[in-house]
Amino acid sequence: MSEIPISWFLTLSAVLFALGVAGFLFRRNIVTVFMSIELMLNAVNLSFITFAYYFKRVDGQLFAFFVMVVAAAEAAVGLAIILTVFKNRATLNIDEVDSMKN
């Protein structure tokens, strides 16, 4: 058996996405929360590319490409926001950044 069932790729994508969600919900460091989001984006990219293979079309790969570009832009802005938050509050714990709660 030298051929991989396509469902394995999709299951791997689901596992990575679920781990990203778990990290997003349970972690308290704002940088790690951000990295969990990147993990979820990567998982979705794997699904896109698997379906590009399945339909034998290049469109899915282009979607993955756009996701990648938008993620790079998002990382630049997000990390700048993290820098500003740290400058103003001297903390990276998201429990202490709650001024919109009250």
Using CB under 8 A, list all residues that contact another protein. 1-12, 14-16, 18-20, 22-23, 26-29, 31-32, 34-36, 38-39, 42, 45-46, 49-50, 52-54, 56-59, 61-62, 64-66, 68-77, 79-84, 86, 92-93
Kindly state the smallest distance separating residue 27's Cβ from another protein, in Å. 7
Kindly state the smallest distance separating residue 10's Cβ from another protein, in Å. 5
Concatenated DSSP letters of 54-79 = HHT-SHHHHHHHHHHHHHHHHHHHHH
What is the spatial distance between Cα 85 and Cα 92, in angstroms, rounded to a whole number?
A: 8
In the block, residue with structure tokens 């969990």: 36
